[in-house]
Structure 1
Amino acid sequence: MSRSAAALCLALSLFLVTYAVNLQAPLYDAYAAASGRGPAAVTIAFAAYVAGLMPTVLFLGGLSDRIGRRIPVVTALLLGAAATALLVVSPSWTTLVLARTLLGIGTGLATTAGTAFMIELMGTERSRSAALAVTSATSLGFGGGALATGISLSLAGPSFFPASFAVLFVLAPLLALGIICAPKVAQPQSGALLRLPVFPKGTWIFGATLALAWSATGMIIAVVPLELAMQGLSGWTGAVIFLAIFIGFLCQPIAKCLSDETSLALGLALIPSGFGLILFGNWMQAIAPVLAGTALSSAASYGFVYLAALSQVSDRSGRDRSRATAGLFVYAYAGFSLPVIGSGVLAETMGLIPAMGVFLALLILGAIALASCLSAGSNAPVEQAT
């Protein structure tokens, strides 16, 4: 297999791994209802993804340096199919927690190995293009799974085995075989299998901004659909989740033309603006502001901030690309999960809209603080983990 063909197969594999992550999102309320659970349980199940991902990133982020890039990507594809199969066989809240934990492990393996693998396939002189290929594939995957399930349910009616699941079952083994046949482009390094992430000097501002951006995305994927369901607008869930990521994909070519600092500044302006519109739309029970706010949030999270952060970390990581990528995702997924859990707990006592209001206030404060640091050039170094 040529390097260009391998790069295409890798991009499709990264798409499919992330496609599996939100594939079941339009069915969250159905899984919860089947088990008699409320909003807090749904957000805990959503965050179980991070419970699987974070230890993988922390302790296995450098695994592909030791055993090669192909095995982690193949493992991630098979884990995505297995997790989804569990939900078909036993659709419940408990199974959702287990499935999302497996999906987190798979994403942690694929994203850390995949970024380094893509750069090696395309060449270090094209590292920014490789980063764009990875962010594009994963952005489309994260949004595409939810949209595919939403469309499947609207066409065929309620089901715990929509056609979107079948697509995953067909493609996962085929792409796994393709990755196995991909060429080895770097020799595995010696050393321990378990190695902590590294945080390249001067990149904390990129990690912190990505955490803030992805906190808004996590809320859109996990909390906003609950409010839409309460308003009888659950049919829009797949579209909202797809928009939450797809608009960012469309903005990535624009972000590539900007400096990373400019991309960050633009993202920091769009993040609270977008979520403010979402909150307004939910309060007014109007879908148009929700969709507009989701688009703005997506442009920030998966467009300007995601590409800038991944590009900067890749450029500054030297030979430790997979471990440095793992370090970046420690920031990102802490932001992605913790606010969602906190909001779910608040929603049990004060309601979803007030909980979203508290999150928006914290989002504004965080954006102001990070924008001030960026403006002052205060990207103080973070010590590297060894």
Structure 2
Amino acid sequence: MSTTTAVRTTNRHLTGFWFVATAFLTLMAFGTAPTPLWPIYQVTDHFGAFTVTIAFAVMVIGAASSFRLLGHLSDRFGRRRIILPALATGIASAAVLAAWPQLPGLLIGRILTGVAVGLMASTATVYLTDLYREVRPDAGSGFPALVATVSNLGGLAIGPLVAGALAQWAPAPVRTSYVIFGGLMVVLLLLVLSSPETVDTALADQDRPVRFAVRAGQRGAFWSAATVGFFAFAVMGLFSSLGAIIVRGQLGITSYFVAGLASFVCFAASAVTQLALRRAANPTVLLIGTVMFPVGLALTALSLYRPALWLVLVAAGLAGGGAGLLFKSAVVTAVVAAEPASRAGVLATYFVIAYVGMGLPSIAFSLVIRHFALRPSMIGFAAVLSIGAVIAASQSVKKKTT
């Protein structure tokens, strides 16, 4: 290969790296875009917090199903061949949500969103690693893993902020954000189409990778990491499904933009803390996350007794930052535990468990507050998640040291 050809190949992989990262971020932002819009749906369709949680949870069900059934396929069929259908499904979801703003359309659109997220998340993470290794074959995997995590959580943070701003100041609040995100995904689909494939599909077809394969002695470490991911995502699910409703109901703030701030701060703190500690050792990241997580949840419960926007946002930041560090530590552990040829399948299993954590505790919480007062329910919720996260993190440390 000539020097000119090698440079062109390198540039193509580097460009593809950033195309995929942007597509990842955009689709994840689209996934949380409805967060500040839940109060609007409540008014127009006359349903309560439990229905909102179900509307949020069907996305989680779609994502978990997609992770479980399809998340491993890029190990065999190629990364790009899975990313493109993910974007196409996201575009279809945006079209349904924009054209059919009533509850049935909301549920169908959110299921499609979940399928798109499931296809994207595990595939994009390993695709970024593959593309970067073509550019820097001697480099470690730290940078693409960081970009993948920031794209994931940064996208989840940007979605409520953008949708809240559009709902507050643009026309057609429940349609505009979906149209804009759908248009962006159309452009990104075309850009990713030009990105190089990194999987030798002929070789993969001859030697089909096992869907879930971890290295010898690493199975316990993987399952402990997945449990950490479950509790980390539970906090993100709470702020995504009920954050705007709590801000509106407890603080009496009617601004859609402000309603999305709690969720934005939660996810943004997740991304920022990971950037700030990107050079820290994984045990250090896990330890700091394990401390921040329960403190943030305790302040979240306190904010219901002392309603103030600043306290809600500080609580969301600490809880989200702690959850982000737990998530980052767990992802690193899962990647290290996986057999190289089964990374997408192992990450898919990890994300199934994490996304179940995003949906199941929020549904349980919304059921509890139908029969008990919100404030003591939040104290119990915070205690259960904090204790669970601490136990899971301690088990993760033990498994990695044995």
TM-score greater than 0.5 by the shorter chain: yes
- Residue 296 of structure 1, CA deviation: 0.7
| Partners of 1:278 and 1:301 in 2: CA distance | 14
Shift in alpha-carbon separation, 1:30–1:379, aligned structure 2, 3 A: same
Identity across aligned pairs (percent)? 24
1:281-335 alpha-carbon deviations (Å, 9 max, x no partner): 1222211111001111121222x22222222222332221101111211221121
**Match among 197, 206, 212 for residue 184 of structure 1:** 197
Residues 357 and 240 of structure 1, relative CA distance in 2, 3 Å threshold: same
Partner of 1:147: 161
In structure 1, distance between residues paired with 2:334 and 2:238: 25
Map 1:187-198 → 2, pairs under 5 A: 187-188=200-201, 189-190=204-205, 196-198=211-213
Aligned residue for 1:170? 183
1:25 maps onto 2:44 in alignment: no
Is structure 2 residue 56 aligned with structure 1 residue 46?
A: yes
1:238 aligns with 2:248: no
Question: Structure 2 matches for 1:99-114, cutoff 5 A?
Answer: 99-114=109-124
User: Is the 1:57–1:197 contact (alpha carbons within 8 Å) kept by the matching residues of 2?
Assistant: no
Deviation at 1:267, TM superposition (A): 1.0
| Partner Cα separation in structure 2 for residue 52 and residue 367 of structure 1 | 25
Matched, 1:127 2:141: yes
In the TM superposition, residue 379 of structure 1 has moved relative to its aligned partner by 4.9
User: 2:357 & 2:268 partners in 1: Cα distance?
Assistant: 20
Report the alpha carbon displacement of residue 177 of structure 1 after superposing the two structures with TM.
1.0
1:9 aligns with 2:23: no
Please, which of 304, 311, 317 is the counterpart of residue 282 of structure 1? 304
The one-character-per-residue Cα deviations of 1:94-131 (angstroms, maximum 9, x if unpaired) are: 22221111111111111121111111100164312111
Work out whether residues 94 and 179 of structure 2, in 8 Å CA contact, stay in contact via their aligned partners in 1: no
Distance 2:22 2:39 in 1: 29
Q: Deviations over 1:319-369 (max 9, x none)?
A: 211011112112211211110000111111114333322211212321332
CA–CA distance in 2 between the matches of 1:101 and 1:237? Answer: 23
For 2:195, the aligned partner's letter is A
Change in 2 beyond 3 A, CA 1:288/1:129: same
CA contact (8 A) 2:65 2:352 kept: no
Question: 1:7 Cα deviation (Å)?
Answer: 0.2
Structure 1 portions without partners, runs of 5+: 382-386
Please state how far the C-alpha of 1:372 moved relative to its aligned partner: 3.9
2:199 counterpart letter in structure 1: A
2:228–2:392 CA contact under 8 A, matched in 1: yes
Alpha carbons of 1:85 and 1:130: their partners in 2 closer, same or farther (altered >3 Å)?
same
What letter is aligned with 1:233? Answer: I
Structure-2 residue corresponding to 1:295: 317
- Work out which of the residue numbers 305, 313, 319 in structure 1 matches 2:326: 305
Residue 227 of structure 2 corresponds to 208
CA distance in 2, matches of 1:226, 1:99: 21
Do the aligned residues in 2 keep the contact of 1:62 with 1:193 (CA within 8 Å)?
no
Equivalent pairs, count: 378
Deviation of the 1:254 alpha carbon: 2.7
Query: Match of 1:221?
Result: 240
Paired residues of 2:224 and 2:393 also in contact (CA < 8 A)? no
CA contact (8 A) 1:209 1:268 kept: no
Aligned twin of 1:250: 272
- In 2, distance between residues paired with 1:355 and 1:300? 21
| Alignment match, 2:108 | 98
Paired residue type of 2:175: F
1:152 aligned counterpart, secondary structure = helix
Deviations 1:19-68 (A, max 9, x none): 11011111112223322211111111111011101111112121111221
Q: TM-score, normalised by structure 2?
A: 0.88
Taking structure 1 as reference, are residues 368 and 311 closer, same or farther at Cα in structure 2, changes over 3 Å only? Answer: closer
Partners of 2:214 and 2:349 in 1: how far apart? 6
User: Structure 1 length as normaliser, TM-score?
Assistant: 0.91
CA contact (8 A) 1:20 1:81 kept: no
Instruction: Please give the alpha-carbon distance, in whole angstroms, between the structure 2 residues aligned to 1:276 and 1:374.
Output: 23
Cα pair 1:50 1:333 within 8 Å, conserved: yes
Measure, in 2, the Cα distance between the counterparts of 1:14 and 1:118.
Answer: 10
Q: Over aligned residue pairs, what C-alpha RMSD do you find?
A: 2.2
Query: Which residue of 391, 394, 398 maps to 1:369?
Result: 391
Which residue among 342, 345, 357 is the counterpart of 2:364?
342
Q: C-alpha deviations, 1:152-198, integer Å up to 9, x for none?
A: 12223662223x33331322111111111111222121279997544
